[in-house]
Amino acid sequence: MLSIRRASEADCALIRRLAGEVFPATYREILAPAQLDYMMEWMYSEESLQGQFRAGHVWFIASSDGEPCGYVSVERQGEDLFLLQKIYVLPRFQGLGAGEFLFRRAVEYIRSVHSGPCMMELNVNRRNRALHFYERMGMRRLREGDFPIGDGYYMNDYIMGLEIVWPRFQFSAYSSSTRFTPRFPTTDMRLPSISTARPRFFRRLSSFCTLTAITRPSWKVEMSGKIVCPTRSRSAS
């Protein structure tokens, strides 16, 4: 079972240990060993990690059956701009959905601290096989560049972006026996035709789906983003 928690500065040693396994495995076919060593120290030394926490970077650590398996960090860079700084899953845990789990947690965090439209950007090496993963998660290539990082080294990256545009919806659905109000804190909400939906559908609805249309006239969408399905009246027997 996958779980996730917000990390603190006390987790610096754990993050460095995880990075020591996943970072070389990710880049050994892309970067020279000297650049790998330089970047590990630049990004994952204890001093660097402490500085990132103190600068406001927010980290989350994922675990599989209690064993740490990956991490993600997010930095706010402007009023409507967030940077997905790092997102990695240890090789032996890849294929279990941990990457998607971390990505969605980053989006959920951004929505929790920013109520309006914004952009989440990510630097990714142009030869990184994870490009397809980011595109599958809805990111698109915005631009590319070669960015100096010191000691004559460069990051040869695409800048990818995800527009986070939907408000936080609260759904309220009513039937003769059930009332529930699940919340959906993300951008990707896609419902089937509500003309055939039943209230029980919302209990099974994923937390990450894209709201496209409200087709049933009796369903009301309020300015607050609250969607209300009125109780169906019963005829007298």
Lowest mean pLDDT among 82-96, 123-137, 183-197: 183-197
User: Which tokens go with 195?
Assistant: 């003309």
pLDDT value at 41 more than 70: yes
The span from the CA of 231 to the CA of 223, in Å, is 20
pLDDT tens-place string over residues 15-25: 999 999 999 99
| pLDDT, average across residues 70-99 | 96
| pLDDT, average across residues 149-162 | 95
pLDDT value at 174 more than 90: no
pLDDT value at 30 more than 60: yes
User: What percent of the chain clears pLDDT 90, i.e. is strictly above it?
Assistant: 69
Confidence class for position 165, pLDDT limits 50, 70, 90: confident
* pTM summary value: 0.71
User: Which tokens go with 113?
Assistant: 């601290």
DSSP classification of residue 11: G
pLDDT value at 3 more than 50: yes
pLDDT at 166: 63
The pLDDT mean for the chain works out to 78
- 46-54 vs 12-27: helix axis angle to the nearest 10? 110
Most confident of 75-79, 186-190, 200-204: 75-79
- 33-44 vs 12-27: helix axis angle to the nearest 10? 160
pLDDT value at 224 more than 70: no
Q: Which one is predicted more confidently, 139 or 227?
A: 139
Lowest mean pLDDT among 66-75, 83-92, 207-216: 207-216
pLDDT tens-place string over residues 201-215: 433 443 333 333 333
Residue pair 81/40 in contact by the 8 Å Cβ criterion: no
| pLDDT, average across residues 136-151 | 95
3-state secondary structure 195-230: CCCCHHHHHHCCCCCECCCCCCCCCEECCCCEEEEC
DSSP symbols for 12-49: HHHHHHHHHHHHHHHHTTTS-HHHHHHHHHHHHSHHHH
pLDDT at 167: 53
pLDDT at 62: 97
Domains of the chain in sequence order: 2-164 (3.40.630.30), 169-229 (no CATH)
The vertex-194 CA angle with 227 and 162, nearest 5°, equals 70
